[in-house]
Amino acid sequence: MTASLAGRTALVTGGSGGIGLACAARLAADGAAVVLMARREAELAAARQRLLTDIPAATVEIAPGDALVPGEVERAMAAAAALGGGLDIVVATVGGSMGHRPLALHDEESFRAVLDRNLTSAFIAFRAAVPLMARGGSMVFISSVCASLPSTFLIPYCAAKAGLEAMVKGAAKECARLNIRVNAVRPGMTRAAGVATMFGERIMRERARELIPLGGPGDPRAVAEAVRYLAGSAWVTGQSFAVDGGSELALNRAVDDADAGLFGSGWPDPWSAPP
């Protein structure tokens, strides 16, 4: 049974929708006081109202700000800490690929923009949070299966997420003596706001079913469950958890196909009912 988060405070960056909002809802449902941070105040206010409608007893506040502006992140962290005398949980969900194209068609500006959005924003959140976690705590960063399964048309994004996971491991070592756990969750294809429109296209749906062993894209709430576990776990740090419907298993598809061609015929079906 998962312990309650009552008495704990949390900041969720990118908290106005998608995975961020799902994470905030999961934490609030278990009793954490939550501050949502994102750039657009109107969307933040709507997200807060949605959470309070679904969880009337929740404590939810908003802190409009840009995850790439250190002062704005620091103010949001301080607002969360003020709800309970310290900061206990940080969930950093800001990221995005900013479009598909071959690496050679990027310039320095677009490449750096992807790194900043996915990696620099995480560093800024980490640096702002540590001084407020005097009683220990948990940081969870949203990575991607692209950190280990690079996509031809998303190479800057893949590089940024791989860098994020390296930072998570280093930060976990650095902060262990402070009882601050630092982990990442690695979502696969998820029906979040930035990509949800793709799944309305028949070809994309069919391709997702083919590539994901559990049958298609996931729900942000599945990612939030992993975040919730890491928020409360006292003895897990420096890890990257895949929540991807088995996408990483598909890495061996070529080997599986070759094995099937060489060895796959003439065997009884072990899952069929006995005659």
The helix (run of H) or strand (run of E) holding residue 19 is helix 18-29
Q: Where are the beta strands (DSSP E) in the chain?
A: 9-13, 33-37, 60-62, 89-92, 137-142, 180-187, 240-243
What is the spatial distance between Cα 272 and Cα 275, in angstroms, rounded to a whole number?
Answer: 9
Neighbours of 31 (CB within 10 A): 17
Active-site residue (options: 79, 92, 140, 157): 157
157 belongs to the catalytic site: yes
Q: What is the CA radius of gyration of the chain?
A: 20
What residues are paired with 90 via a beta bridge? 11, 139
Residue 158: count of CB within 10 angstroms of its CB: 23
Q: Which stretches within 55-140 are classed as H helix?
A: 70-82, 108-115, 121-129
Backbone CA torsion sign across 5, 238, 242, 200: positive
Contact (Cβ atoms closer than 8 angstroms) between residue 180 and residue 139? yes
**Other CB atoms within 10 Å distance of the CB of residue 159:** 19
Q: Which residues of 122-132 are buried (b: 16+ CB within 10 A; e: fewer)?
A: bbbbbebbbeb
| Cβ 67 vs Cβ 76: under 8 Å | no
CA–CA distance, 59 with 258 (Å, rounded to integer): 55
Catalytic (active-site) positions: 157
